[in-house]
A and B are shown apart, each in its own frame.
Chain A
Amino acid sequence: MKQRLLERSGMLRPVLSVAVGLILAAAMMALSGYAPGEAFSALWTGATGLAAGPPMGTHDLAFGSGHIALFQMAQSFSKMTPLLFCGLAVALGLRAGLFNIGAQGQMTFGALAAAAIGMRTGIPAAVHVPLTLAVGAIAGAAWGALPGLLKARRGVHEVISTIMLNFIALDIANYLITHNLHDANSQNPQTPEIATSAILTPLIPHTALTHGLTLALLAALAVTALIRFTALGYAIRAVGLGAEAARASGIAVPRTLIVTMALSGALAGVAGAVEVMGVQHRYAVGIAASYGFDGIAVALLGGLGGLGVILSALFFGGLASGSSYMESLTNVPAPISVIIQAVIIAFVGMRPRPRATPTPAVPASTTPAPTPEPPAERKEANAAL
Chain B
Amino acid sequence: MPHSDAGFGALLFALLIATLTSATPLILAAMGGILSERAGVVNIALEGLILAGAFMGVAAGRTSAFVGLLAALLLGALLGAVHAFLTQKTRMNHVVSGLAITLLSAGGTRYLFQKLLRDGVGIEGLPQWFFIVLALLLPFAILGLLSNTRFGLRLRAVGENPTSARMAGIAAIPVRFVAVTLSGVCAALAGAFLSMSVAHRFSPDMSAGKGFIALAAVIFGKWHPLGAMVGALFFGFFDALQSQLQISHVHLVALGVEWTNPFLLDALPYLMTLAALVTLVGRATPPAALGLEDA
Q: Which residue of A lies closest to B166 (CB)?
A: A359
Partner of A372, one of B114, B216, B273, B288: B288
Q: A333-B111, A373-B288 are in contact. Are A342 and B277 (CB under 8 A)?
A: no
B96 in complex: contacting residue of A28, A349, A367, A373, CB < 8 Å: A349
B104–A372 contact, CB under 8 A?
Answer: no
* Contacting residues, chain B, for A175 (C-beta < 8 A): 258, 261, 263-264
- B267 touching A335 by the CB < 8 A rule? no
A367 touches B164 (CB 8 A): yes
Interface pair B292/A339, CB less than 8 Å apart: no
**Binary interface profile of B, 40-65, with partner A (CB < 8 Å = 1, else 0)?**
00111000000000000000000000
Interface residues as binary, A1-44 with B (CB distance below 8 Å gives 1, 0 otherwise) = 00101100000000000000000000010001000000000000
Per a CB cutoff under 8 Å, which of B94, B111, B267, B290 touches A336?
B111
What residues make up the interface of A, taking CB atoms closer than 8 Å to B? 3, 5-6, 28, 32, 99, 150, 154-157, 159-161, 163-168, 171-172, 174-175, 178-180, 296-297, 300, 333, 335-343, 345-346, 349-353, 362, 367-368, 372-374, 378-379, 381-385
Q: 7 A-B contacts, Cβ less than 8 Å apart?
A: A3-B292, A156-B277, A337-B107, A338-B111, A382-B93, A382-B291, A383-B291
Q: Given that A179-B261, A339-B111, A362-B163 are known contacts, is A5 also in contact with B93, CB under 8 Å in the complex?
A: yes
B106 at the A/B interface (Cβ < 8 Å)?
Answer: yes
Q: In the complex, what residues of A have CB within 8 A of residue B24's CB? A: none
Contact partner of A350 (CB less than 8 A), chosen from B90, B114, B167, B274, is B90
CA distance A345 to B108 in the complex (A): 15
| A300 touching B96, Cβ below 8 Å | yes
Residues of chain B at the chain A interface (Cβ within 8 Å): 37, 42-44, 86, 89-97, 99-101, 103-104, 106-108, 110-112, 114-115, 160-161, 163-164, 167, 204, 209, 212-213, 215-216, 218-219, 256, 258, 261, 263-264, 266-267, 270-271, 273-274, 277-278, 282-284, 286, 288-293
- On whether A335 and B111 interact (CB within 8 A), knowing A5-B93, A175-B263, the answer reads yes
**Bound form: Cα–Cα A353–B88 in Å:** 10
Cβ–Cβ contact A164 & B274, under 8 A: yes
Main secondary structure of the interface of A (DSSP, over half): helix
CB distance from B7 to the nearest CB of A (A): 29
Complex formed: what's the CA distance from A99 to B291 in Å? 14
Which interface residue of A154, A164, A338 has the most chain B CB atoms within 10 A? A164
Tell me the interface secondary structure of chain B in the complex: helix
Chain B residues within 8 Å of A335, by CB: 106-108, 110-111, 114, 204
Say yes or no: A159-B44 contact (C-beta < 8 A), given A167-B209, A300-B96, A352-B90: yes
The smallest beta-carbon distance between B255 and chain A, in angstroms, is: 12
A382:B94 contact, CB within 8 angstroms: yes
Cβ-defined contact, B96 with A379, below 8 A: no
Shortest Cβ distance from residue B145 to the other chain A in the assembled complex, whole angstroms: 21
| Nearest chain B CB to A344 CB, angstrom units | 9
Specify which of B42, B103, B204 is in contact with A385 (CB 8 Å cutoff).
B42
Contact between A157 and B219, CB atoms less than 8 A apart: yes
Asked whether A384 lies within 8 Å of B290 as measured between CB atoms, the reply is yes
Complex: A38 Cα to B71 Cα, angstroms: 33
The 6 closest A-B pairs by CB, nearest first: A338-B107, A382-B291, A342-B103, A335-B110, A342-B104, A171-B267
Nearest-Cβ distance from residue A292 to partner chain B, whole angstroms? 13
Give Cα A171–Cα B246 distance, bound, in whole angstroms: 14
Complex CA distance for A335 and B117, rounded to whole angstroms:
14
Cα distance A374–B160 in the bound complex, in angstroms:
9
Alpha-carbon separation in the docked complex, A3 to B263 (Å):
41
CA distance A362 to B290 in the complex (A): 20
Alpha-carbon distance between A55 and B107 when the two chains are bound, in angstroms: 35
What is the CB-to-nearest-CB distance from A351 to chain B, in angstroms, rounded to a whole number? 5
**Partner pick for B212 among A32, A163, A297, CB 8 A cutoff:** A163
A contact residues around B110 at 8 Å (CB): 333, 335, 338
Q: Which residues of B contact A5 (CB under 8 A)?
A: 93, 96
Residues of B within 8 A of A381 (CB): 93
Does A385 contact B271, Cβ atoms closer than 8 Å? no
A5-B91 Cα distance, complex, nearest whole Å: 10
Q: Which of B104, B216, B256 meets A164, CB within 8 Å?
A: B216
12 more A-B contacts (CB under 8 A) besides A179-B261, A362-B163? A150-B278, A156-B274, A164-B271, A171-B264, A296-B99, A341-B103, A342-B107, A351-B90, A351-B92, A382-B292, A383-B94, A385-B286
**Residue among B106, B110, B112, B291 facing the most chain A CB atoms (10 A cut-off):** B291
> In the complex, what residues of B have CB within 8 A of residue A32's CB?
111-112, 115
A385 CB → nearest B CB, Å = 5
A86 CB → nearest B CB, Å: 14
